[in-house]
């Protein structure tokens, strides 16, 4: 089965900030797939890999189109550079929409937190909450004015509930204060850098909002760690031993060894690649496991986590 069945043709490109572009695609040879706020597609890259990008419910989007927002990463390994080079008429292949970051049903109030390019799924959530008539507030944070994309669109979507914060001035986001009067039945959604997500989780828990009402998605992989060391992974079912080099993830090493592995985000925030650990000590680098789960060392996310021991035995 083709992992990237969608054929998308660029219809328009707009510079939203000096580093962020919006891309609107028409779907070639078929209908636009159904998707809901929080969904993403993975766009196939010329090097054989792919990258996830959240689908955006931009106001005024023409019927039959899909929109993405793409940050040009300074340390791009090819994805954002490729996406920023696309021109009208270019065609890319992509997966069908995948959603690991859904809005929950029901009428409970919502608090949305977006950091930087993490705004892309959060904007779609704001649009859907507005359409459903559910009360929410949105906090959108960035370093300095002029670098936050999609502000006019957000002001159109939520003219009353939007607060914008800049690290560079007194508007700086105070997460604890933003959560101070949140009802305990609120749903909290956050997308942005790991530090912001950790602070939102801690702030919401301190406010007695249950963990299953706190939802998040990282927008970016951790930067490569030059202190990574190689280690071995043994598969319990076959006894096969695979070496993971310093510059590989466990998933990359498995794929290089011809194994078929289930994964999605490759950022440690969706849980799809989670594996049981039979022996050895993982070096947990995900944001999905709780501190207790990490300390138990019974499971790990093999897209980002590594090993503290020389060998891991995984329940695979």
Contact flag: residue 20 with ligand FES (CB under 6 A) = no
Among 93, 153, 178, 266, binds ligand FES (CB under 6 A): 266
Question: Based on CB atoms, which residue is closest to ligand FES, 49 or 271?
Answer: 271
Nearest partner of 264 among 217, 313, 197, 195, judged by Cα? 217
- Using CB under 6 A, pick the residue from 11, 263, 309, 311 that binds ligand FES: 263
Q: Does the footprint of ligand FES cover residue 289 (CB under 6 A)?
A: no
CA nearest neighbour of 306 among 238, 252, 231, 236: 231
Binder of ligand FES out of 301, 307, 313, 314 (CB under 6 A): 301
- β-pairing verdict for 6-15 and 214-218: unpaired
104 DSSP β-pair partners: none
C-beta closer to ligand FES: residue 20 or 94? 94
Distance CA 228, CA 54 (A): 29
What is the C-alpha to C-alpha distance for residues 316 and 298, in angstroms, rounded to an integer? 13
Distance CA 10, CA 20 (A): 16
If one asks whether residue 273 binds ligand FES (CB under 6 A), the answer comes out as: yes
Q: Is 265 near ligand FES (CB under 6 A)? A: yes
Q: Using CB under 6 A, which of 55, 197, 270, 313 touches ligand FES?
A: 270
Measured over the CA atoms of residue 202, residue 205, residue 210 and residue 214, the dihedral's sign is: negative
Is the C-alpha dihedral spanning 128, 195, 51, 143 positive or negative?
Answer: positive
Nearest distance from C-beta of residue 298 to ligand FES, angstroms: 16
Task: Tell me which of 268, 284, 294, 300 binds ligand FES, using CB under 6 A.
Answer: 268
Site membership for ligand FES, residue 154 (CB under 6 A): no
What order of strands is seen across the sheet that includes strand 231-235? 241-244, 231-235, 311-314, 274-279, 299-301
In the 8-state DSSP scheme, what is residue 296? H
Contact window for ligand FES (CB under 6 A) among 190-198, 209-217, 223-231, 266-274: 266-274
Give the integer Cα–Cα distance in Å for 221 and 15.
Answer: 23
**Which CB atom, from 55 or from 58, has the smaller least distance to ligand FES?**
55
Q: Minimal distance in Å, beta carbon 59 to ligand FES? A: 30
Nearer to ligand FES, 120 or 274 (CB): 274
List of residues contacting ligand FES (CB under 6 A): 263-266, 268-273, 286, 301, 303
């Amino acid at each position: 089965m083709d992992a990237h069945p969608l054929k998308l043709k660029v219809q328009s490109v707009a510079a939203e900030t000096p580093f962020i572009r919006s891309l609107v695609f028409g779907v070639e040879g078929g209908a636009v797939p159904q998707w809901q706020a929080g969904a993403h597609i993975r766009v196939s890259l010329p090097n054989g890999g792919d990258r996830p990008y959240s689908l955006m419910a931009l106001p005024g989007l023409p019927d039959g189109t899909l929109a993405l927002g793409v940050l040009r990463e300074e340390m791009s390994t090819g994805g954002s550079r490729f996406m920023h080079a696309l021109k009208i008429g270019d065609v890319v292949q992509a997966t069908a929409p995948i959603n690991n970051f859904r809005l929950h049903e029901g009428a409970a109030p919502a608090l949305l937190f977006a950091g930087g390019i993490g705004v892309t799924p959060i904007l779609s959530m704001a649009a859907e909450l507005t359409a459903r008539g559910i009360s929410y507030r949105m906090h959108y944070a960035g370093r300095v004015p002029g670098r936050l994309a999609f502000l006019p669109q957000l002001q159109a979507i939520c003219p009353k509930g939007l607060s914008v914060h800049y690290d560079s001035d007194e508007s700086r986001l105070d997460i604890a204060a933003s959560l101070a009067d949140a009802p305990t039945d609120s749903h909290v959604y956050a997308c942005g850098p790991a530090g912001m997500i950790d602070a939102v989780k801690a702030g919401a828990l301190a406010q007695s909002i249950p963990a299953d009402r706190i939802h998040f998605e990282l927008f970016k992989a951790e930067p490569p760690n030059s202190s990574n060391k190689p280690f071995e992974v043994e598969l319990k079912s076959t006894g096969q031993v695979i070496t993971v080099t310093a510059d590989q993830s466990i998933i990359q090493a498995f794929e290089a060894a011809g194994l078929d592995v289930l994964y999605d985000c490759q950022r440690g925030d969706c849980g799809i690649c989670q594996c049981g650990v039979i022996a050895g000590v993982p070096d947990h680098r995900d944001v999905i496991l709780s501190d207790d789960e990490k300390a138990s060392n019974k499971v790990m996310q093999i897209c980002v986590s590594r090993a503290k021991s020389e060998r891991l035995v995984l329940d695979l």
